[in-house]
Structure 1
């Protein structure tokens, strides 16, 4: 008798060709970015069966549309109402207000059209590493009088995570509203007992898009990569630092972690509040009443000028990527970029090389060793082109550089959660704070210059001496860059 395999094997290959045919047709009809289309076609060619599986799991736009269909309805209902009630006056940009920041007028106007108003009444503190962030964060939590909203990609139930958890439960028992949102992939290690004890204390806890197959979670799309804390609608935190002991350099973790965060007090916190509500409503699947207490009238906090901008797979504009593009091309003298993951889109790469060729000094700082070999290899494939354009490249060696900072001239800086890669620009929910203040920018520049002391600078001549094997690995990984 013929075995089962002998019976079905003649049909396997034709069936596979039919599947490939429809996958390719679907890719073409979606009219997505040609680079991403090419990358998926390359994946199908190099990894025939695995490539198809990856496409069905992660590559289909239909999944994106289905996932965010209800969120779009919520946003449409809530967004305009929020703007009318809380941002209407601020979104009407006054020419006299913009005048001192004329160099970045295009950027300011672009962002305000995406519900990112220019706010003037703020006091901003730059926090270097977890050692500076967590004490300030804990103080703000202790002083909460009405509500706490916390949204994090990674929240670990370790030393600092346990301390934050205990304080949140204590505040909830005091009658303070506590809403907590964690990402289903970044915070995958949290146990059911963690959720149970917080909910028992009165904390409203939700998980952003929980996953069913942990083995596939390292690169699942559409993650909530934001790090946001809002206390009483007056104090906010955002930046690159998650809730985990690894971000505190107290010798309990072997690797030094270099990161940057912000504490914001004032009007810009209202935009953080708005962004929290959007994701919270998406997860709990119903609309909240946005009482005035969440957007309180504020006294004078300071004179720091701030715009908060967000992006995500449900956002109409690729706002963070486009804002980076506008900001970089607005540079007159110098651009400084620190990022842990550098896989730029063609437009961002062109912007960097073009301004560098226009007598604008450009400095790029990335980790000497990444936490992902394939991402690092893809990043390194851009180095020669950048060096040839006159960009100065620095590899940070003291530990892992996780800071996401752009400083332009001496009058603009961006600090936030977005890396300079396809995933942050197109797939993840991100948030960045844009600062138009010479003193704040100078603080970030000083930190950048201090970090350069822990770097090695690469020259074009030395870079070209890499082995053929290394160059080939980088080139292959670059082909897959839009999928990383």
Structure 2
């Protein structure tokens, strides 16, 4: 009895699908991850087997790729030793037990080996004009180096001023090293501006390059989401703003202008951000950049204004769940108030439950989220949490003056977390992110004023009105929420 090719294929394909389905099911059962993520994957795999299997093989595992993972592990001891060398200047890190939120700082230091650094001057810049003006001014004063990491670099408008300042700096001998995400900055890499900057001697490197041929060996949706500028190892910027001008950026998304902040840092913690840039740079290029410890002289240290900054570096290869653990610890430490701004609010059940419990124990919990979102799925999925949060007394505001892109957490008007991390699983698990944890009354006051300004442009959700929304809204919310661990 002979079989045709078609008959053989007809038998083999179902067997392969069955083997892959069982194998992935067993992997999901033994894999350490949230129950919601496991159930979401199982649902996709069994409802649409071929699509689900392919999706899991591409996106199901957090794989850096063998070469990148090997470089990360090889460089890790070098950079951890360098971070630990900060202890040579004792008063950079000696907090004398003055920090009220010491457990959070201790967690980060023990897991990352990056110490909390004292004596930094911090200021919030909250308009594109003030942000770009500050960056340009500091680049114009640069003497040795300008190092940058961005997810998106988009030409046009105010960004052209930064480009010209960088070209001028390079002409006078300043080293300029820019690391940009492959997906976020794809149009820039194809532009004349990119060619001009590289021709002028500016080093620009594409990170996490997407290669469809390697998608089964490393995840193609891992993104470099950090936003960092460090000038002469002393002045630094980090926050939520990409290198874009909101007047030109994503004008066709119909969500209004993107609203962001950057924090200008003058002080020794800039060296930590410079070290993170150097680490990312060496992984990508195999070229080492100079590592320099900060100067020891500091700003005066006061009991309530220690200018203490802890840098949280998170992403694949870094300690698992550090961002989620840090957020949970900050929320549980709150005594009076928690205010959060985030463009994408699809947190883990643990974070959502921590916020609900905080409200139930009398903490004033406030969420400020954009009314319009550029992600349809995230916009619907985030609403799933609103019923329980509103019922517990959480106040939810919808910002109406654009897409609120600022990522900030303020606890008790004293502890602030500011950076690039969104309140979603992608930021917690997949993206390379950076967050500043700051315990400082002066900086907390700036965050308070910023968030109050956002509240003035927002409308509060009414619980009684919210629970009367149409049934089909609830169905859509639940449908998209099933995919929330995969967003």
Query: How big is the shift at 1:119?
Result: 2.1
**Distance in 1 (alpha carbons) for counterparts of 2:41 and 2:51:** 11
Which residue pairs with 1:178 in the alignment?
Answer: 176
Which residue pairs with 2:271 in the alignment?
Answer: 270
Query: How big is the shift at 1:138?
Result: 0.7
2:240 is aligned with 1:240 = yes
**Distance in 1 (alpha carbons) for counterparts of 2:253 and 2:358:** 39
Matches within 5 A, 1:115-194: 115-192=113-190, 193-194=192-193
Matched residue SS, 1:414: strand
Which residue pairs with 1:481 in the alignment?
Answer: 484
**Which stretch shows the higher mean deviation, 281-290 or 308-317?**
281-290
Which residue pairs with 1:376 in the alignment?
Answer: 379
Which residue pairs with 2:284 in the alignment?
Answer: 283
Change (3 A) 1:48 1:261: same
Which residue pairs with 1:46 in the alignment?
Answer: 47
2:318 is aligned with 1:321 = no
Query: How big is the shift at 1:32?
Result: 3.3
1:108 to 105, 124, 144: 105
Q: Deviations over 1:113-149 (max 9, x none)?
A: 2233222211111111312211101101111001000
Asked if structure 1 preserves the Cα contact closer than 8 Å seen for 2:132 and 2:159, the reply is no
Change (3 A) 1:86 1:326: same
**Distance in 1 (alpha carbons) for counterparts of 2:69 and 2:126:** 35
**Distance in 2 (alpha carbons) for counterparts of 1:143 and 1:157:** 23
**Distance in 2 (alpha carbons) for counterparts of 1:47 and 1:252:** 33
How many residues end up aligned between the 2 structures?
473
Which residue pairs with 1:231 in the alignment?
Answer: 231
Q: Deviations over 1:89-109 (max 9, x none)?
A: 45996462x32x32x121122
Asked if structure 2 preserves the Cα contact closer than 8 Å seen for 1:91 and 1:112, the reply is no
Query: How big is the shift at 1:374?
Result: 0.6
2:368 is aligned with 1:365 = yes
**Which stretch shows the higher mean deviation, 312-321 or 179-188?**
312-321
**Distance in 1 (alpha carbons) for counterparts of 2:95 and 2:47:** 54
Which residue pairs with 2:211 in the alignment?
Answer: 212
2:259 is aligned with 1:261 = no
2:429 is aligned with 1:426 = yes
RMSD: 2.7
Q: Deviations over 1:294-335 (max 9, x none)?
A: x34254456532222211111024322211111111111111
2:337 to 334, 337, 340: 334
**Distance in 2 (alpha carbons) for counterparts of 1:410 and 1:6:** 70
Asked if structure 2 preserves the Cα contact closer than 8 Å seen for 1:91 and 1:115, the reply is no
Change (3 A) 1:400 1:62: closer
Query: How big is the shift at 1:158?
Result: 2.0
Change (3 A) 1:223 1:30: same
Asked if structure 2 preserves the Cα contact closer than 8 Å seen for 1:129 and 1:257, the reply is no
Which residue pairs with 2:449 in the alignment?
Answer: 446
Matches within 5 A, 1:350-429: 350-429=353-432
Change (3 A) 1:140 1:289: closer
**Which stretch shows the higher mean deviation, 162-171 or 84-93?**
84-93
**Distance in 2 (alpha carbons) for counterparts of 1:91 and 1:326:** 26
Unpaired runs of 5+ in structure 1? Answer: none
Matched residue SS, 1:482: helix
**Distance in 2 (alpha carbons) for counterparts of 1:27 and 1:317:** 18
**Distance in 2 (alpha carbons) for counterparts of 1:123 and 1:84:** 22
Asked if structure 2 preserves the Cα contact closer than 8 Å seen for 1:396 and 1:455, the reply is yes
Q: Deviations over 1:260-279 (max 9, x none)?
A: 21000001111111111111
Query: How big is the shift at 1:194?
Result: 4.2
Change (3 A) 1:306 1:15: closer
Change (3 A) 1:36 1:76: farther
Change (3 A) 1:302 1:403: farther
Query: How big is the shift at 1:389?
Result: 1.4
Matches within 5 A, 1:289-304: 289-290=290-291, 292=292, 295-297=293-295, 299-301=297-299, 304=307
Asked if structure 1 preserves the Cα contact closer than 8 Å seen for 2:17 and 2:49, the reply is no
Asked if structure 2 preserves the Cα contact closer than 8 Å seen for 1:266 and 1:298, the reply is no
Matched residue SS, 1:321: helix
Asked if structure 2 preserves the Cα contact closer than 8 Å seen for 1:91 and 1:118, the reply is no
Change (3 A) 1:468 1:3: farther
Which residue pairs with 1:20 in the alignment?
Answer: 21
Change (3 A) 1:26 1:63: farther
Asked if structure 1 preserves the Cα contact closer than 8 Å seen for 2:129 and 2:158, the reply is no
Asked if structure 2 preserves the Cα contact closer than 8 Å seen for 1:64 and 1:313, the reply is no
